[in-house]
Amino acid sequence: MRVLRICSTILSAALLFGANAHGQSAAYTWLVDRQTYVIDEDGRWTGVFEAERKAHDAQAARDGARIDLSYAASSQRIEILEAATLKADGRRLPVADDKIIDIAPQVSREVALYTDNRTRSIVFPNVEAGDSIRFAYRLTTFDLTWPGYSRSNAWRTPHRTKLSERIFDRPAGMPLGVEHHGGDYRIEQVGDRVRQILSWRNEKSTPAEAGSTSSADWGPRFAVSTFKSYAEIGNHYANLHATASAVTPDVAALAADIVGATTDRAQQARLLFAWVTRNIRYVAVSVGQGKLTPTAASETIRNRYGDCKAIVSLLAALLAARDIAGEPALINVTVTSYVLPETPIAAFDHVILYIPEFDRYLEPTSQYSSFGTLPWSHYDKPVLHAVAGKSRTSRVPRERVEDNVAETHTVATIGSDGRITGTTREKASGTMATDLKTLATGASEATAKAQLRRFGPPGTGKWTKRGRDASAATVELSAEFKLTDEIDLGAGEALTPPAGLRFLVRPGAFLVGTHDTARVYPFPCHAGRQTETIEVILPAGFRPARLPADRSWKTSIAEYRSVYALRGETLYVRREFVAHPESQVCGPEHSRELVELMSNIRRDQRSVVVFDKSP
C-alpha cells in the first residue's frame, strides 16, 4: 500500500560492490575488504578495491560465485586487476577474460529511468564450500558531479569480517573531515600526503532485520568529506536550481493561463501544483552532469516530462511567476535513514519543494499527490534547503493521526439460499488517499477477484465509483461483490464477517510494521487511523448464539478496539486501529509491546459468529 516515487539521480560518487556482491548470508567471511581512495586537490579520485570472501557452505558457494561491480560510464573508468577462485586445497583458478562481462542495467519499459550506470560482472569458476573468491579492481573518476569529495558507509555487520579498511589518501593541505562510530581510526603522513584510515573487525555475524531503519543511523559507520558545511552543498545546488527555474516568457504565460482569474495566492499555488502533477510525466535521464543539474523549466514545458529535479524546478518557476517563493529541499527517500551525519555529505537521492509562505512541503513527482501531502518515506526526514547564501538543514514535519485516515464500510446480505452479496465503500485522506488513488488505477474485474481472495473467500465484483480527481486530498471508492462460497447458518456453519471488496488493508500492522517477535533495531512507524465497519444483514429468524466480546488493547504508541452488536436483523462489527508515535522512528521497547497487540488483533479479526434459528 505504500507508494514511492524516487529520483535517484542526485547521487554522490558511484558505488562499488553491486547487489550480488555480498548478499545477506552469514555463511560468508570477508578475509580481505580494503578500499583505498587517492583523492586529488579538486576532489577527483582513484580507488583500488581488494576483496577476498570465503564461502562456508554449498549454498553460499552457489550464491556467491558472481560479483557485480557498478560504475558510472560517463565519469568513471573501471579496470579489473585480479579475479580468481582460491580453492581450499591451495589451487588458484583465474577468471577467464570472457567471463568478465559488461552489462547495462536491466529495467522494464515501465521504469522511466535512463542512466549511464553500467555493471562489470565477474563469474568465478568452480566455487565450492570452503573456497574463496578474490578480486581487485581500480575505479578512476575523471568527472565530478559535486565540486568536492564525500562518502559515508555503514560497516557490514551481518557478515563475519577479518578486517575491513577504508583508506583515504589526500594532499596534506586538503582538509578531510571524518566522523566515525565504531571501529578504529588512525592517521598516517608520508611526505606531502596524509592517509586517514578507518577499520572494522566483525568476528561474529549479526543477522540483518527486515523492516528496520537504516544502520547508517545507529550502527557502526563513518563519514568523510571535504565540504565544510551542509550550507556549502546546498548553495551549490541552489545555483543550479536557480538557473533551471528562471521565469522565462513561456513560463510566465503558462502560469497566467493556469491560474486564470484566481487571485487567492494559496489557490494559485494549488492550481499550479495540480497542473504539474497532471501534465508532467516522470522520466529520469541520469547521465553525466544530468545526475545533478536540473533541466530548464522551459525545456520541461516543451518535453512534458522530467525527473524530480526538473519537475521541482518547473513548479518553482511557475510559482515564482506569480511571486510565490519556493525552496528546493534535498532529501533521502530510498533508504530508511532519518539522520544526517554531522560531517556534511553530498549524498541525496531526491528533491522536493518547500513553500515558506504556506509552510508546506510539496511532492510534485507523483500524479496522485495532493497539495502538501507527502509519501510515507518523506515524513520526519532531515532535508537540506538549497537557497543561495541561505542554505540550511531542516526537518520535514512528523505525521499526525488526523492527517492519515482510512475507512472501509462493507454491507453484506446473506440470502435465504446462503449466498452472500454486498457493497464496500472506501474513503481515505492524506497519504492513505495517495495510496488508494494509486491502487485504484488498475481496478478491473480481475483485480476484484484478486482483492476478494486476498481478504477472504473467492468471488467476483466490480467498482461502481472511483475518485477521479488525482490531486484531491481525499478519495472515495465504491464496489459491489458476490462471494462464491455459500453459507448454511442453519447447519451451524460459523460466519466470518466478510471484509468486502477493498484495496485498503485491515486495521493493524500496516502503520507500524510486522511484530511476530520483538525487534532488535529501530523501525519506521507511522501515524494514522484505520477503521473497518462491517454490517451483515441476516436471513429472517437467525440470531447469534453468542457475540464475540468487545475488545480494547493499548500500547504506548498504538491502540485497537472492536465492537460487536446485533441491531435488529443486522450483525454490526466495527474495528479501529490508531497509531500515534512521537516520531517516525520507533524502538525495540515499542516492538515488545506490539508483539502482544498484533497477536490480539489477528485473533480478533479471525473471530466467527454461530447462529441459532428462532422457532
Helix-strand-coil split of the chain, %, nearest 5 = 20, 35, 40
Weakest mean pLDDT among 324-338, 463-477, 491-505? 463-477
End residue of a domain, out of 365, 380, 395: 395
Residue 458 lies in a domain: yes
Weakest mean pLDDT among 111-120, 263-272, 359-368, 440-449? 111-120
Same domain as 360, residue 346: yes
Given this model, what pLDDT does residue 9 score? 47
Residue 12 lies in a domain: no
Same domain as 245, residue 222: no
pLDDT in tens, 320-332: 999 999 999 999 9
Same domain as 457, residue 342: no
Same domain as 431, residue 341: no
pLDDT in tens, 572-603: 999 999 999 999 999 999 999 999 999 999 99
Q: What is the mean pLDDT of residues 241-255?
A: 98
Indicate the Cα dihedral angle 34, 40, 46, 49, nearest 10°.
0
Long-range pairs, 126-130, Cβ under 8 A, ≥24? 126/85, 126/87, 126/93, 127/55, 127/61, 127/62, 127/64, 127/65, 127/85, 128/55, 128/58, 128/61, 128/87, 128/88, 129/55, 129/56, 129/57, 129/58, 129/60, 129/61, 130/54, 130/55, 130/56, 130/88
Residue 433 lies in a domain: yes
pLDDT in tens, 197-213: 999 999 887 888 999 99
Same domain as 297, residue 200: no
Residue 177 has pLDDT above 60, yes or no: yes
Same domain as 608, residue 469: yes
Same domain as 603, residue 535: yes
Give the E-state strand segments of 396-541 in sequence order: 405-414, 420-429, 459-465, 474-483, 523-524, 528-537
Given this model, what pLDDT does residue 188 score? 96
Question: Which residue carries 429468524 as its cell?
Answer: 541
pLDDT in tens, 61-87: 999 999 999 999 999 999 999 999 999
Same domain as 59, residue 168: yes
Same domain as 183, residue 89: yes
Q: How many domains does the chain have?
A: 3
Contact 127, 64 (CB under 8 A): yes
Residue 7 lies in a domain: no
Contact 552, 516 (CB under 8 A): no
Residue 15 has pLDDT above 50, yes or no: no
Neighbours of 125 (CB within 10 A): 15
End residue of a domain, out of 363, 395, 427: 395
Domain with residue 572: its CATH number is 2.60.120.1130
d(CA 301, CA 321): 14
d(CA 64, CA 54): 9
Confidence of residue 428 (pLDDT cuts 50, 70, 90): very high
CA dist list (Å): 83 to 32, 457, 612 = 14, 54, 75
Given this model, what pLDDT does residue 115 score? 82
Residue 589 lies in a domain: yes
Contact 76, 141 (CB under 8 A): yes
> Bigger pLDDT: 194 or 117?
194
Contact 120, 137 (CB under 8 A): yes
Cell numbers of 346, please?
Answer: 553530498
Residue 96 has pLDDT above 70, yes or no: yes
Q: What is the mean pLDDT of residues 390-419?
A: 97
Q: Across all residues in the chain, what is the average pLDDT?
A: 92
Q: Which helix (H) or strand (E) holds 38?
A: strand 28-39
DSSP-assigned letters across all residues of 127-171: --TT-EEEEEEEEEE-S-SSSS-EEEEE--TTSEEEEEEEEEEEE
Same domain as 529, residue 485: yes
Share of the chain above pLDDT 70, in %: 94
Given this model, what pLDDT does residue 471 score? 80
Confidence of residue 189 (pLDDT cuts 50, 70, 90): very high
User: Residues 6 or more apart from 130 whose CB is under 8 A from it?
Assistant: 54, 55, 56, 88
Residue 383 β-bridge partners: 394
Confidence of residue 378 (pLDDT cuts 50, 70, 90): very high
DSSP state of 346: -
Residue among 9, 10, 14 nearest 286 (CA): 9
Give the E-state strand segments of 404-518 in sequence order: 405-414, 420-429, 459-465, 474-483
Domain with residue 236: its CATH number is 3.10.620.30
Contact 211, 523 (CB under 8 A): yes
Same domain as 575, residue 518: yes
Residue 6 lies in a domain: no
d(CA 280, CA 293): 18
Residue 464 has pLDDT above 80, yes or no: yes
Question: Which residue carries 537521492 as its cell?
Answer: 349
Determine the straight-line distance between the first and last CA of the chain, rounded to whole angstroms.
Answer: 47
User: Residues 6 or more apart from 521 whose CB is under 8 A from it?
Assistant: 209, 212, 213, 215, 218, 588
d(CA 300, CA 364): 14
Helices (H), 194-296: 215-218, 230-244, 249-259, 265-279
Residue among 410, 378, 339, 358 nearest 526 (CA): 378
> Bigger pLDDT: 292 or 471?
292
Q: What is the mean pLDDT of residues 228-239?
A: 98
Weakest mean pLDDT among 129-138, 279-288, 301-310? 279-288
| Domain hosting residue 489, numbered range | 402-613
Given this model, what pLDDT does residue 13 score? 36
Confidence of residue 469 (pLDDT cuts 50, 70, 90): confident
pLDDT in tens, 299-313: 999 999 999 999 999
Residue 140 lies in a domain: yes
Confidence of residue 113 (pLDDT cuts 50, 70, 90): confident
Amino acid symbol at 385: H
Given this model, what pLDDT does residue 24 score? 44
Residue 10 lies in a domain: no
End residue of a domain, out of 395, 416, 442: 395
User: Residues 6 or more apart from 136 whose CB is under 8 A from it?
Assistant: 48, 49, 50, 51, 80, 81, 82, 83
Given this model, what pLDDT does residue 470 score? 77
d(CA 117, CA 122): 17
Same domain as 601, residue 478: yes
Q: What is the mean pLDDT of residues 468-491?
A: 92
- Rg for the chain (alpha carbons), in Å? 28
Strands 523-524, 585-586: pairing is antiparallel
Residue among 487, 483, 484, 514 nearest 608 (CA): 487
Q: What is the mean pLDDT of residues 88-109?
A: 86
Q: What is the pTM of this model?
A: 0.92
Residue 2 has pLDDT above 80, yes or no: no
Contact 32, 366 (CB under 8 A): no
d(CA 319, CA 251): 10
Domain with residue 49: its CATH number is 2.60.40.3140
Residue 452 has pLDDT above 90, yes or no: yes
